[in-house]
Amino acid sequence: MNPTGNPSPTGDSFPNGPAPLTGHSLLAGREVPGTGDAWYAVAAATGEPFGPPHRDASTEQVAEAARLAAADSRAFRALPPEQRAAFLDACAEEIETLGDALLELAAQESGLPPARLTGERARTCGQLRLFADLVRSGTALGARIDTGPSGTDVRLRRIPLGPVAVFGASNFPLAFSVAGGDTASALAAGCPVVVKSHPAHPGTGEAVARAVTTAAARTGMPAGVFSLLVGRDHDVGLALVGDPRITAVGFTGSRAGGLALITAGRSRPVPIPVHAEMSAVNPVIMLDGALARPEQAAAPYVASLTAGAGQFCTNPGLLLLPAGPAGDAFLSAVAQAMKATEGQVMLTPDIARAYTEGVRRWEDVPGVREVARGTAGAGPYTPAPVVLECDAATYTAHEDLTGEVFGAAGLVVRWSGTDELLHLLEELEGQLTATLHGTDADRSTALGLLPVLEERAGRVLWGGWPTGVEVCHAMVHGGPWPATSSPGATSVGTLAVERWLRPVCYQSFPDTLLPSELRDDNPLRAPRQTGAGLIQGA
């Protein structure tokens, strides 16, 4: 029952999976009620509380989760690769077993439509299986065998750091949350995971955590391999990052939240890496050739800007457009497309309010004008999408225009000449993405811009739109500060596993004492680099 006495939604129980939700933390498979004040999930569309009461984990419970993870860390990393891979596969299977009830609950908590959540579930399970395949391949072990200049036998492999703290993201209740990319990659590395669930979707987080717990038991994992902590208050997360047994942190969220965790990680007696994905405006540069057919260029821009109420970390928040008639025609087409859009339910009432305040902040800057605005949706938390415009001088003169407005708000900055465009790009902060639109006629200009874009972004696109993140081996979802705190890392794709590993060198060891992947007979058949060459499975 919720606080008003109305029945909880059907998503509170999963007949083919975990027991009805309780609002409790899960410590190494054990259900533990919190000790804080009761709070409830909130329906994104109405702001009404529902579901079971949740209570924040106590400081002692946070410490217990970290202790259990550390106690089983060596046992987990020592498991054969096939057993760890089977665990990841089982996580995907158990999540799928939850069926539509999981999607219904996630939709109520997040306001995201069922079709989007269906795709997100597929992405979540797909990346779990992708990391399972990575574990089986042995590639992440990074095995190297070499002979030093003096003839010394030198061998290297990567080992897991130890227990990892993961913070669920608000905008992806499945793919970037309890069993999302950070958790999947950390488990693939051989690191136990302690997740601090996101208060915007606590029921979804608990349901997925129960699926992971079931998968762990089913595949014979040490119990401490996974725990979930309930926490609405910041103290839970800070206590987790501050625990000396936690060795690294994965976070996706606001800049303020990321900075707080980075400070906590650096302030410890033994500092730890905090891999935080924070804010980005993801600039899209329209070159002259892209504007030959303005309607064809405008429609996908508006679609990308408004998809999911604009609540993607790769939302194209900044579009750099040539001044002149061709750019004017593009904006006219954007205005027509925008007028047909309608506001969608945002993730939380607070996020909807922050969006409205952010748009107002842009509008209050002299020199900014409205290009077009859609219509607000029917509910109280469905603000209208909007596109605003200014010139390059206005943009560079007003810091209020450079920050992210999380939602379906786009700022178009008009540039005159490639020198001004280059100056705009050089002044940008680090970004997750940067996109170029043009034709072969723009080749010379694009080549001149590309070195700057490589310095500013983790992923550079030609054509297309940055909201299309592919989950694959070559993907980079990261970038320079402040898009992330780890410019050499990614949170999507199999390269993400490297955040949770460190290299260890074995010099002049007898073969019988070496790890399996470094022995002469290579019983794991792991890929190994010998000198400058890579040998597959030999």
For residue range 406-463, list pLDDT tens digits in order. Answer: 999 999 999 999 999 999 999 999 999 999 999 999 999 999 999 999 999 999 999 9
Residues 395 and 431 reside in one and the same domain: yes
Residues 266 and 311 reside in one and the same domain: no
Residues 107 and 34 reside in one and the same domain: yes
Residues 213 and 299 reside in one and the same domain: no
Cβ atoms 191, 182 nearer than 8 A: no
Q: Which of 94, 206, 277, 420 is catalytic?
A: 277
pTM for the model stands at 0.95
Q: What is the mean pLDDT of the chain?
A: 95
Domain at 85, CATH number: 3.40.605.10
48 catalytic residue (yes or no): no
Residues 351 and 326 reside in one and the same domain: yes
Residues 269 and 304 reside in one and the same domain: no
Residues 250 and 107 reside in one and the same domain: yes
Residue 470: partners with Cβ closer than 8 Å, 6 or more residues away: none
* Burial of residue 429 (number of CB atoms within 10 Å: 0-12, 13-18, 19+): middle
Q: Is the pLDDT of residue 536 over 70?
A: no
Q: What are φ and ψ of residue 27, in 5° steps?
A: -105, 105
On whether residue 528 sits in a domain, the answer given is no
On whether residue 378 sits in a domain, the answer given is yes
Q: Sheet containing 248-252: which strands, arranged edge to edge?
A: 30-32, 25-27, 226-229, 193-196, 164-167, 248-252, 274-277
On whether residue 526 sits in a domain, the answer given is no
Residue type, 397: A
Residues 289 and 232 reside in one and the same domain: no
Closest CA to 288 of 251, 329, 318: 329
Q: Which of 91, 125, 191, 313 is catalytic?
A: 313
Which structural domain range is residue 401 located in?
Answer: 284-462
Residues 208 and 306 reside in one and the same domain: no
Residues 157 and 257 reside in one and the same domain: yes
Q: What are φ and ψ of residue 464, in 5° steps?
A: 65, -170
On whether residue 518 sits in a domain, the answer given is no
Residues 70 and 31 reside in one and the same domain: yes
* Burial of residue 531 (number of CB atoms within 10 Å: 0-12, 13-18, 19+): exposed
Question: Residues of the chain with pLDDT > 90: what percent?
Answer: 94
Give SS3 for 536. Answer: coil
What is the spatial distance between Cα 188 and Cα 84, in angstroms, rounded to a whole number?
A: 7
Q: What is the mean pLDDT of residues 125-148?
A: 97
DSSP letter at 430 equals: -
On whether residue 527 sits in a domain, the answer given is no
Closest CA to 429 of 263, 322, 320, 279: 279
Residues 265 and 359 reside in one and the same domain: no
Cβ atoms 169, 252 nearer than 8 A: yes
What's residue 13's pLDDT? Answer: 54
On whether residue 519 sits in a domain, the answer given is no
What total number of domains does the chain contain?
A: 2
Domain at 307, CATH number: 3.40.309.10
191 catalytic residue (yes or no): no
Q: Is the pLDDT of residue 471 over 80?
A: yes
Tokens matching residue 388: 């605003």
